[in-house]
Chains A and B, each alone.
Chain A
């Protein structure tokens, strides 16, 4: 079992739909990161969470430390949101990545 598990692995949505991507981790962490990766490899950091909830535009990230679970929500999804979304648990140093969720938003 991976230390960081994401679900679903693949997700197809219609433009405008509310999207949720889940992340569970089994390791002790100092923070949970959500990142976005577009074709070609570039990774962009979206959120870094150690508790509660953060919002940036149409993106919302939440974390429940007791349940070792985090979610990334996208409201009013748009085709430009199509990408791979990756959660990563940070211990004192490195990030431990989940396998990623490939999101396709259709117009």
Chain B
């Protein structure tokens, strides 16, 4: 297993466009998390899934944001009508809670720049 993969690594988009990011977690991990990080700050929680169920969404996740994990494997995060304030690093992480091990593995992130 190659760890958590995120695609693309970088995305530049014009304001108002829609963007979609993909995260492939470690295959046996049941939980998948999305975080957003701006420069000089720690990551902020957006949402997380256990298998295909979305268990929690942050108030940061406005109605322009949607996330899915349709088969309990990879996940997508879509941002509609992007705004300059959406510019950030979007991080995905996964963990396997079934064995009582909550160790997290992070992907390298997708850096979004809205111009």
Contact surface of A with B, Cβ cutoff 8 Å: 4, 30-31, 33, 35, 40-45, 48, 86, 88, 90, 93-100
Contacts and interface: CB of A to CB of B under 8 A. Distances in A.
B102 A94 contact: no
B56 A93 contact: yes
Contact of B33 (A31, A41, A94): A94
Interface residues of B, number: 24
Given A41-B89, A41-B108, A93-B48, A88 B103 contact: no
B74 interface: no
B22 interface: no
Interface of B: 31, 33, 35, 37, 40-45, 48, 55-56, 89, 91, 93, 102-106, 108-109, 111
Chain A contact residues: helix, strand, loop or mixed: strand
Contacts of A42: 106, 108-109
